[in-house]
């Protein structure tokens, strides 16, 4: 970055995050084990017991949605704003496209996955006072759902059809076609049978049920592959320093 910082730390201004934990937060990046580190308030059960109930429920819903859209299936507590990122990795992200507001942390994880960055988390205890959270799940539910669906579709397309094409790609494609063929064919035949009063034959039932079962099995195989497709090689040790990058561009220009 232009300021010369190697690691950039983000702390929310709600007073819930202890600055004394910064050294622990940035340790995985300094040791070369991660590109991005975030806090997790759910590792300590004693800390969770002091968390407001609505925040626990909201985190459960948002965590699963973020796992889907980001591909980091081992992450939790996605709205945690206590984060650290290596400057070189941050420089590779489209900062102007990252959502602002409450969706920032979730969208950040999606962008990091697209960049193939390694993300990890460290346990932390949140300090809750009398402050009231401005995040209202009911108000942002539809907005968040739409953004998570869009990011999930983009992540899968980038990862399994644009950047790579493997067995999981075939499982997703064929499984989706088989499943929806069975559903649509079965629904049409059921409606025709109901209108005509003539029961569907065994062959018709099998022709509808078999693609659904096969398609569902292939989709489960794809999701099993996706949840195990964990990034393990950090990005930043392989990135050249900004000075080297600028020098290389200048050399090509001459």
Looking at residue 70, its pLDDT comes to: 94
Pairing of strands 36-40, 7-10: unpaired
- Residue 213 is assigned to a structural domain of this protein: yes
Looking at residue 166, its pLDDT comes to: 95
Higher pLDDT, 5 or 190: 190
- Residue 135 is assigned to a structural domain of this protein: yes
Looking at residue 51, its pLDDT comes to: 67
pLDDT digits (tens, 9 = 90+) for 162-187: 999 999 999 999 999 999 999 999 99
Same domain, yes or no: 82 and 47 = yes
> Which residues, at least 6 apart from 231, have a Cβ–Cβ distance to it below 8 Å?
113, 116, 117, 118, 119
Q: What's the rounded mean pLDDT across residues 139-154?
A: 86
- Residue 238 is assigned to a structural domain of this protein: no
Q: Which two tokens stand for residue 21?
A: 């934990």
Domain boundary among 163, 182, 209: 163
Same domain, yes or no: 94 and 200 = no
Looking at residue 247, its pLDDT comes to: 44
Q: Is the pLDDT of residue 133 over 60?
A: no
- Residue 233 is assigned to a structural domain of this protein: no
Same domain, yes or no: 146 and 28 = yes
Looking at residue 10, its pLDDT comes to: 92
**25: pLDDT confidence band, cut at 50, 70 and 90?**
very high
Same domain, yes or no: 219 and 134 = no
Burial of 14 by CB count in 10 Å (0-12 exposed, 13-18 middle, 19+ buried)?
middle
**190: pLDDT confidence band, cut at 50, 70 and 90?**
very high
Same domain, yes or no: 153 and 205 = no
* Domain count across the chain: 2
Domain boundary among 141, 163, 185: 163
Looking at residue 236, its pLDDT comes to: 84
Q: How far apart are CA 246 and CA 251, in angstroms?
A: 9
Same domain, yes or no: 15 and 42 = yes
Q: Is the pLDDT of residue 102 over 50?
A: yes
Average pLDDT, the chain: 85
pLDDT digits (tens, 9 = 90+) for 77-86: 888 889 999 9
Looking at residue 245, its pLDDT comes to: 47
Q: How far apart are CA 254 and CA 251, in angstroms?
A: 5
Q: How far apart are CA 162 and CA 169, in angstroms?
A: 10
Cα 180-143-90 angle, rounded to 5 deg: 100
Same domain, yes or no: 98 and 159 = yes
Looking at residue 143, its pLDDT comes to: 80
Q: What's the rounded mean pLDDT across residues 22-35?
A: 93
In the block, tokens 């991005």 appear at 36
State how far Cα 154 lies from the chain centre: 11
Same domain, yes or no: 151 and 172 = no
Range of the domain at 130: 7-163
Per-residue three-class SS string for the chain: CCCCCCEEEECCCCCCCCHHHHHHHHHHHHCCCCCEEEEECCCCHHHHHCCCHHHHHHHHHHHHHHHHHHCCCCCCCCCCCCEEEEHHHHCCCCHHHCCCHHHHHHHHHHHHHHCCCCEEEEECCCCCCCCCCCCCHHHHHHHHHHHHHHHHHHHHHHHHHHCCCCHHHHHHHHHHHHHHHHHHHHHHHHHHHHHHCCCCCHHHHHHHHHHHHHHHHHHHHHHHHHHHCCCCCCCHHHCCCHHHHHHHHHHHHC
């Amino acid at each position: 970055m232009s300021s010369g910082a190697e690691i950039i730390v983000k702390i929310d201004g709600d007073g819930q995050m202890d600055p004394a934990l910064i050294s622990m937060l940035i340790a995985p990046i300094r040791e070369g084990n991660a590109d991005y580190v975030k806090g997790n308030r759910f590792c300590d059960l004693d800390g969770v017991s002091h968390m407001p109930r609505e925040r626990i429920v909201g985190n459960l819903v948002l965590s699963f949605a973020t796992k889907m859209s980001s591909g980091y299936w081992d992450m939790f507590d996605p709205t945690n704003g206590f984060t650290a990122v290596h400057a070189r990795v941050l420089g590779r992200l489209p900062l102007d496209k990252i959502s602002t507001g409450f969706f920032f942390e979730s969208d950040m994880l999606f962008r990091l996955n697209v960049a193939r960055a390694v993300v990890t988390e460290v346990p932390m205890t949140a300090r809750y006072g009398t402050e009231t959270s401005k995040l209202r799940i009911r108000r942002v539910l539809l907005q968040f759902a739409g953004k998570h669906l869009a990011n999930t579709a983009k992540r899968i397309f980038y990862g399994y059809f644009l950047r790579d094409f493997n067995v999981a790609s075939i499982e997703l494609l064929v499984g989706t076609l088989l499943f929806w063929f069975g559903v649509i064919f079965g629904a049409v035949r059921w409606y025709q049978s109901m209108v005509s009063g003539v029961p569907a034959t065994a062959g018709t039932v099998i022709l509808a049920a078999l693609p659904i079962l096969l398609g569902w099995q292939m989709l489960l195989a794809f999701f099993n592959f996706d949840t195990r497709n964990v990034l393990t090689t950090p990005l930043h040790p392989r990135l050249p320093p900004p000075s080297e990058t600028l020098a290389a561009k200048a050399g090509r220009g001459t």
